[in-house]
Amino acid sequence: MESKRTPDEIMRLLKRPWPTDQVKSRKGPAGKMLSYVDARQVMARLDEVVGPEGWQTRYSEVAGNCCCTLSIKMGDEWVAKSDGAGETSIEGEKGQFSDAFKRAAVSFGVARYLYLGGNLMSPEEYDKRVAKRSTSVSATVIEEEGIEVDQEVFSQYVSQLTVAFEMEDQMSAKQLWTEVKQDGDMYVYLMAKLPSKIKTFARRSCET
């Protein structure tokens, strides 16, 4: 069944932490304990948020490493992100596929919080933080989630969307917003930074 959730809802649910008793741990370099979830848990999260028909993977070889391209259906658009991995000392070639898949999912925010260190956040704590989230705290949220974008490209989007809003140019706004949605991090960044009236205009332009 196709997901009826908005891109905002999809991104929020993909980033939602796992219950702390479902997070696994293992020893990493220098004996440091690392928190992680396995590939099956990530697959279950994708099924839960967008449905089995709402995501797909494609694997390729890049410089001897396994590269996974994960595509997720967001609204009317398919958004794709890729990442790769070499053989692991634990599972060899099989581990390559799992690691590449999980890394591609991390680029959408899935389990990204586990790489930031510190105390694990519970799903309930995350939900409360999201409920209280507002534009005034957007910079803090972006920092906590480790989102980084090209500031020059960001400024160009802001400028072009602002002009489209002022000129009431729905066609340009639709083209720009469709392009933005293909970059998950840029989309989240603009959603947090853009004035509400411009975001509303751009999103409504896509509905016409």
Asked whether residue 134 carries a pLDDT value surpassing 50, the answer given is no
Task: Please write the tens of the pLDDT for every residue from 59-80.
Answer: 998 877 899 999 999 888 899 9
Asked whether residue 127 carries a pLDDT value surpassing 50, the answer given is yes
For residue 8, name the pLDDT band (cuts at 50, 70, 90). confident
Task: Give exposure, 37-66, as e/b (b: 16+ Cβ within 10 Å).
Answer: bebebbbebbeebbeeebbebeeeeeeeeb
10: exposed, middle or buried (Cβ count in 10 Å: 0-12, 13-18, 19+): buried
Q: Do residues 15 and 111 make contact, with C-beta atoms less than 8 angstroms apart?
A: no
Asked whether residue 103 carries a pLDDT value surpassing 70, the answer given is yes
Asked whether residue 145 carries a pLDDT value surpassing 70, the answer given is no
Measure the CA–CA gap between 83 and 199, rounded to whole angstroms. Answer: 30
* Weakest mean pLDDT among 5-9, 87-91, 129-133, 153-157: 87-91
The predicted pLDDT at position 105 comes to 95
Asked whether residue 53 carries a pLDDT value surpassing 70, the answer given is yes
Residue range 25-54: average pLDDT?
A: 90
Measure the CA–CA gap between 162 and 112, rounded to whole angstroms. Answer: 31
Superfamily of domain 7-132: DNA repair protein Rad52/59/22 (3.30.390.80)
Task: Please write the tens of the pLDDT for every residue from 77-95.
Answer: 899 999 887 665 444 455 7
Q: Do residues 106 and 112 make contact, with C-beta atoms less than 8 angstroms apart?
A: yes
The predicted pLDDT at position 136 comes to 43
Asked whether residue 41 carries a pLDDT value surpassing 50, the answer given is yes
Q: Do residues 72 and 3 make contact, with C-beta atoms less than 8 angstroms apart?
A: no
DSSP letter at 195? -
Residue boundaries of the structural domains of the chain = 7-132, 151-205
Give the pair of three-digit tokens for residue 81.
């992100």
Asked whether residue 131 carries a pLDDT value surpassing 80, the answer given is no
Mean pLDDT, all residues of the chain: 83
Asked whether residue 148 carries a pLDDT value surpassing 80, the answer given is no
Measure the CA–CA gap between 157 and 175, rounded to whole angstroms. Answer: 11
